[in-house]
Structure 1
Amino acid sequence: MQLLDLTLPTPEENLALDEALLEEAEQGNTPVELLRLWEPEAPLVVIGRASKLHDEVDVATCQDRGVSVLRRASGGASVVTGHGCLMYAVVLSYELHPELAALDVCHRYVMGRIQSALVREVPEVDLQGTCDLTLDGRKFSGNSLRCKRSHLIYHGTLLYDFDLTLIHTLLRTPPRMPDYRQQRPHESFVTNVPIARDILRKNLIEAWQIEGNAVDWPVAMTQKLVAEKYTNPQWTSMR
């Protein structure tokens, strides 16, 4: 597996790059496996592929604060990210891991690796719900995936030094909640994991057994997705 440690200048480019990495892997003739790490500087709301924008996001507050709201290509509910939130994406090959076609196996495989990377620093880190990482029952990592013919992308957030007030300020109460949340509001449900960014990054890289750094990335495809999708208001507001 290779590492792509790359944060692009705009939110649209960063979301487009995740999708482009999956599409490039699909178009190739050999299996691709890659870990991407990135971190936005400014607050950003990212909604799931099937999310209803106004049900999950306080759009007016986002507009007042100049916070971008974008729709990603994978499922799941809305998240807030920004400085203090490390983002990761893992592209995996079905040819190399045919068992990952079963979603429950896929969740356990990816989240189990990430959990093992974190328990070395914070032994209390737990995996709850479908694919949430928690500390003392409070969530610090939300994750989602998109599956295609030969590859999948599994990506998510790791809150380590994030302004948690942004979450309840910019998001509404989610329409769907895991049982372990027990109807708690954002304020009493989310937390930061107390691991420094450099250590968090180092442990993730070790967990995925990185063999080298990716030199090339799909520039043209990323730009095409930015132009056709991620800067298109209809894509974000389509539901």
Structure 2
Amino acid sequence: MRTVPFTLTQAAHQLALDEALLLIAEERTSSEAGASEFIRVWEFDHPTVIVGRSSRVNDEVDVDFCRIQAIPIFRRCSGGATVVGGPGCLMYSVVLDLSLRPALARIDVTHQFVMQHLQTAVNRQFSDAEETAQFQGTCDLTFANRKFSGNSMRMARNHLLYHGTLLYDADLATVARCLCYAPRQPDYRAERAHAEFITNINVDPVQLKTDLIDVFGGHQTWNESLPQERIDALCQERYENTGWNFSR
């Protein structure tokens, strides 16, 4: 697995890079194990709303509040419900090769695989604590029964993209204010409002980034150039296209 080192500043480019890596992986024919697997860990520079590929924006997002606060709304290429990124919210993205990991063709196995890796990375900083990160719902991580990580995936023919959030110092009030009442809720949520349901975890984000890369096996750095042409094309088609972002 290769660690992708690029530091991007534009939110649309961040989302486009995730999809670009999946497309690049699908085009690879290298026999070297892990040559088409990638991991990147990053953050948005500013509060940013990211809706799922099939999400209805007006059902899941307080669009008026976001407009007043100049918080942009984007649609990602993967499924799941809306999340809010920004400072204090670590984002991770992994591209996994199904030929190396055929069991991941089953979605439930994929969720378990990734969540176990995330738990391992997070819990390295809670090894002596009574509370540790737990896997609940379809693909949530919780601490003391409150959610700090939401995740989603996109399955391609030979690879999959799995990405998500890890809240460590996010402005939870802003996160809650951006979101409407969630249309799909896991049972463990027990109908709690966002403010009572989400939480930050007390971790060192620099160490967490290192641990995430380590547990997924990103021990080699991807030394190719930034796929800027692919990013630009995806932004034009999707991520900087109002018709895409507000298609539902």
For normalisation by structure 1, the TM-score amounts to: 0.97
Q: Distance in 2 between matches of 1:226 and 1:170?
A: 23
1:114-125 to 2 correspondences below 5 Å:
114-123=118-127, 124-125=132-133
2:217 aligned with 1:209? yes
Q: Do 1:57 and 1:172's aligned partners in 2 also have CA atoms closer than 8 Å?
A: yes
Q: Give 1:170's aligned residue.
A: 178
SS at match of 1:130: coil
2:241 aligned with 1:226? no
Post-superposition Cα deviations, 1:64-119, rounded to whole Å, max 9, x if no partner, equal 11110000000000011100111000000011001100011111111101101111
1:148-163 to 2 correspondences below 5 Å:
148-163=156-171
2:81 aligned with 1:73? no
| Percent of paired sites with the same residue | 45
Q: Give 1:131's aligned residue.
A: 139
Deviates more, 1:138-147 or 1:211-220: 211-220
- 2:150 maps to a residue whose letter is G
- 1:185 maps to a residue whose letter is A
Q: Distance in 1 between matches of 2:137 and 2:233?
A: 35
Say which of 35, 38, 41 aligns to 2:45.
Answer: 41
2:14 aligned with 1:14? yes
Q: Give 2:29's aligned residue.
A: 29
Q: What stretches of structure 1 of length at least 5 have no aligned partner?
A: none
2:113 aligned with 1:109? yes
Q: Distance in 1 between matches of 2:146 and 2:46?
A: 24
2:92 aligned with 1:84? no
- 1:92 maps to a residue whose letter is L
Q: Give 1:238's aligned residue.
A: 247
Q: Do 2:4 and 2:222's aligned partners in 1 also have CA atoms closer than 8 Å?
A: yes
SS at match of 2:181: coil
Q: Distance in 1 between matches of 2:19 and 2:7?
A: 14
- 1:237 maps to a residue whose letter is F
Runs of 4+ in 1 over 4 A off after TM superposition: none
Q: Do 2:139 and 2:151's aligned partners in 1 also have CA atoms closer than 8 Å?
A: yes
- 2:208 maps to a residue whose letter is L
SS at match of 1:142: strand
For normalisation by structure 2, the TM-score amounts to: 0.94
2:149 aligned with 1:141? yes
2:49 aligned with 1:57? no
**Alpha-carbon deviation of 1:147?**
0.2
- 1:46 maps to a residue whose letter is I
SS at match of 2:74: strand
**Alpha-carbon deviation of 1:208?**
1.3
* Count of residues in Structure 1 that have an aligned counterpart in Structure 2: 239
**Alpha-carbon deviation of 1:205?**
1.5
2:198 aligned with 1:198? no
- 2:243 maps to a residue whose letter is Q
Say which of 167, 186, 195 aligns to 2:194.
Answer: 186
Q: Distance in 1 between matches of 2:189 and 2:5?
A: 32
**Alpha-carbon deviation of 1:190?**
0.3
CA RMSD of aligned residues (A): 1.0
**Alpha-carbon deviation of 1:218?**
2.1
